[in-house]
Amino acid sequence: MKAPERYYDFEKDISGCGVFGVISKQRNLIKGDLPINAMACMHDRGNGLGGGFAAYGIYPDMADKYAFHIMCDDKSGVNAAEEVLKHYCTVHEFEPIPTRKTLNITNPPLVNRYFVSPNFDPAHELSDLPEEDYMVSVIMKINTSVAGAYVFSSGKNMGAFKGVGYPEDIADFFRLDEYSAYIWTGHNRFPTNTPGWWAGAHPFTILNWSIVHNGEISSYGINRRYLCEHDYLCSLMTDTEVVAYELDLLIRKHGLSWEMAAKVFAPPFWDEIERMDKDDKELYTALRATYGPGMLNGPFAILVADNNRLMGLNDRIKLRPLLVAEKDDMVFMSSEESSIREVCPELDHVWMPKAGEPVIVDLEG
Amino acid sequence: MLFQPINKNYHEFHIDRDKDLCINCEVCVRQCSYGSHYWDEVRGKVMHDNSKCVGCHRCEALCPTAALHIRKKPSEYRGGASWRPVFMENIYKQADTGGVLLAGMGSPVDIPVYWDRMLLDASQVTNPSIDPLREPMELKTFLGAKPSKLEIETGKDGKPKLKTKLTPQLELNYPIMFSAMSFGSINFNLHRAMARAASELGIYYNTGEGGLHKSLYKYGQNTIVQVASGRFGVHKDYLQAGAGIEIKVGQGAKPGIGGHLPGEKINDMVSETRMVPIGSDAISPAPHHDIYSIEDLLQLIFALKEASEYKAPVSVKIAAVHNVAAIASGIVRAGADIVTIDGMRGGTGAAPAMTRDNVGIPLELALASVDQRLRDEGIRNQASIVAAGGIRCSADAIKAIALGADAVYIATGALIAVGCTLCGRCYTGKCPWGIATNDPKLAKRQNPDIAAKKMTNLVRAWGHEIEEMLGGMGLNSIESLRGNRDKLRAVGLSDTEMDILGVKHAGR
Work out the end-to-end distance of chain A between its first and last CA atoms, rounded to an integer number of angstroms. 41
Of residues A78, A127, A83, the one with CA closest to residue A69: A78
Which H or E element spans position A94? strand A89-96
Contact A283 B151 (CB under 8 A): no
Alpha carbon distance B115, A272 (integer Å): 35
| Other beta carbons less than 10 A from residue A236's beta carbon | 18
Main-chain dihedrals φ then ψ at residue B220, nearest 5 degrees: -55, -30
Based on its alpha-carbon atoms, the radius of gyration of chain A, rounded to whole angstroms, reads 20
B356/B345 Cα distance (integer angstroms): 8
The 8-class DSSP code of residue B183 comes to B
Q: 3-class secondary structure for B22-79?
A: CCCCCHHHHHCCCCCEEEECCCCEEEECHHHCCCCCHHHHHCCCCCEEEEECCCCCCC
Secondary structure percentages of chain B, helix, strand, coil, to 5: 35, 15, 45
How close A259 comes to chain B (CA, Å)? 9
Average pLDDT over residues B161-170: 96
DSSP state of B111: -
Q: Can you tell me whether residue A209 is helix, strand or coil?
A: strand
Number of structural domains found in chain A: 1
Select from B149, B483, B499 the Cβ nearest to the Cβ of A225. Answer: B483
Is A72 noted as a catalytic residue in this protein?
no
CA distances from B27 to A34, B32, B37, B72, B434 (A): 88, 9, 9, 22, 16
Instruction: Assess contact for B135 and A319: CB atoms under 8 A.
Output: no
Strand partners, A99: none
Of A290, A292, A298, the CB nearest to B474: A298
> A123 lies in a domain?
no
Query: Cα separation of B467 and B489, whole Å?
Result: 20
C-beta atoms of A290 and B476 within 8 A: no
Alpha helices in B318-439 (DSSP H): 324-333, 353-358, 363-376, 394-403, 412-417
Number of neighbouring beta carbons within 10 Å of residue A264: 24
Residue B118's pLDDT is 98
The conformation of residue B377, written as its DSSP 8-state character, comes to T
| Contact at CB, A229 and B378, closer than 8 angstroms | yes
Q: In the 3-class helix/strand/coil scheme, how is A171-186 assigned residue by residue?
A: HHHHCHHHCEECEEEE
Q: Which is it for the CA torsion B46, B47, B52, B55, positive or negative?
A: positive
Taking the C-alpha atoms of residue A154 and residue A209, their distance in angstroms, rounded to an integer, is 9
Catalytic choice (A17, A72, A89, A234): A17
Could you give the ipTM of this predicted complex?
A: 0.93
Q: How far is CA A12 from CA A163, A224, B501, B505, in A?
A: 18, 11, 19, 15
Who's near B172: CB < 8 A, 6+ residues apart?
A: B139, B140, B141, B142, B143, B202, B203, B204, B407
Of all residues in chain B, the percent with pLDDT exceeding 90 is 91
- A14 contact residues in B (CB cutoff 8 A): 126
Q: How far apart are CA A201 and CA A188, in angstroms?
A: 9
For the cut 80, the answer to whether the pLDDT of residue B337 exceeds it is: yes
pLDDT (tens, 9 = 90+) of chain A, 365 residues, equals 888 888 888 877 777 789 999 999 999 999 999 999 999 999 999 888 899 999 999 999 999 999 999 999 999 999 999 999 999 999 999 999 999 999 999 899 999 999 999 999 888 888 899 999 899 999 989 988 999 899 999 999 999 999 999 999 999 999 999 999 999 999 998 877 666 788 888 899 989 999 999 988 899 999 999 999 998 887 777 788 889 889 989 998 999 999 999 999 999 999 999 999 999 999 999 999 999 999 999 999 999 999 999 999 999 999 999 999 999 999 999 999 999 999 999 999 999 999 999 999 999 97
User: What pTM, to 2 d.p., does this model score?
Assistant: 0.94
The whole-number average pLDDT for the span B392-406 is 98
> Is the distance from CB of B248 to CB of B223 less than 8 angstroms?
no
Could you state, in order of their start, the residue ranges of all structural domains in chain B? 6-79, 141-149+163-483
CATH number of the structural domain B141-149+163-483: 3.20.20.70
CB contact under 8 A, B127 and A319: yes
Q: Are B452 and B200 in contact (CB under 8 A)?
A: yes
Q: Are B47 and B26 in contact (CB under 8 A)?
A: no
| Alpha carbons A315 and A300: distance in angstroms, whole number | 5
B320 and B362 Cβ atoms separated by less than 8 Å: yes
Instruction: Please give the Cα distance from B437 to B352 (Å, whole number).
Output: 19
Task: State the burial class of residue A154 (Cβ atoms within 10 Å of its Cβ: 0-12, 13-18, 19+).
Answer: buried
Q: What domain range includes position A257?
A: 15-58+157-362
3-state secondary structure A53-66: EEEECCCHHHCCCE
Residue A270 has its nearest CB partner, among B140, B146, B504, at B140
pLDDT at B246 over 90: yes
Residue A203 belongs to some domain of the structure: yes
The CATH number for A192's domain is 3.60.20.10
Segments in chain A forming alpha helices (H): 33-41, 75-88, 131-145, 167-174, 220-229, 239-247, 258-265, 270-274, 278-291, 337-343
What is the fold of B6-79? Alpha-Beta Plaits (3.30.70)
Residues B359/B256, Cβ–Cβ less than 8 Å: yes
B 476-495 residues with CB below 8 A of A? 476-477, 479-487
CA distances from B99 to A152, B5, B316 (A): 72, 19, 32
